[in-house]
Amino acid sequence: MKRRRGLFIALEGIDGSGTTTQTRALAAALAARGARCHLTCEPSRGPIGRMIREQLSASDPIDAATLALLFAADRLDHLRREVHPAVDAGAIVISDRYVLSSLVYQSLDCEPSWVATLNQRAAAPDLCVLLDLPVELAVARVRARLTAGDAPEERYDAPDLQRRLAAAYREHAARDPRITIIDGARPPESVTADLLARITPLIDELAVAFG
């Protein structure tokens, strides 16, 4: 992303990979070090994001192409409404999912080049991290959340889909050097420490650039 006041960081991974836990832990750790953080997510909390959330657990869901359009529309709205203003104000914006989620999830059912075209106008983040872990571990975490009633059953929860999604994430990471892979199977504190180690040099660069 060309805006140079703050930073935009996206955390990615299959369901149960820990993106939500880690965006929160990272924001807390950075805030404790005096950084100004803005925690956000996709689907966003805006009008299109709310519509998507409804659809993800709907019994009669919309088709895959319509959903891909909604994710791309939500992203542009999210950038305009929330991400760009926060970055311009100097914050470190940490998003629980971003473009890579669409390239991976929506390409299960839609032509990947079409999904990429839909997302062309969404600027690249300063850092995109893939939390990688064995699919069985992620599936077990999602199952535990469902059993505890902490989350509704969603469109992509099936283990065979998660396996395909994990493979797709790894393929993207293998051919795109801008994606940083972090081992998400370790205890959460170790994952957060690893994330902090990757992000601190970027924050130091900003301090040099803007004083």
Residue count (the chain) = 211
What is the closest distance, in whole angstroms, from the C-beta atom of residue 68 to ligand TMP in the complex? Answer: 8
Question: Phi/psi of residue 5, each to 5°?
Answer: -80, -50
Phi-psi region of 207 (alpha: psi -120 to 50; beta: other; left: phi over 0): alpha
Torsion angle, CA of 26/29/32/36, rounded to 10 degrees? -20
Regarding 105 and contact with ligand TMP (CB under 6 A), the answer is yes
Q: Is 89 helix (H, G, I), strand (E, B) or coil?
A: coil
Binding mask 51-90 for ligand TMP (x = CB under 6 A): -----x--------------x-------------------
Regarding 15 and contact with ligand TMP (CB under 6 A), the answer is yes
Among 22, 23, 40, 102, binds ligand TMP (CB under 6 A): 102
- Report the distance separating Cα 64 and Cα 76, nearest Å: 19
Among 97, 162, 173, 195, binds ligand TMP (CB under 6 A): 97
Regarding 42 and contact with ligand TMP (CB under 6 A), the answer is yes
Which residue lies nearer to ligand TMP by CB, 96 or 194? 96
Which residue lies nearer to ligand TMP by CB, 96 or 126? 96
Regarding 101 and contact with ligand TMP (CB under 6 A), the answer is yes
Q: How far is CA 69 from the centre of its chain?
A: 17
DSSP 16-72: TSSHHHHHHHHHHHHHHTT--EEEEESS-SSHHHHHHHHHHT-SSPPPHHHHHHHHH
Regarding 154 and contact with ligand TMP (CB under 6 A), the answer is yes
Positions in the binding site for ligand TMP (CB under 6 A): 15, 19, 42-43, 56, 71, 96-97, 101-102, 105-106, 154, 156
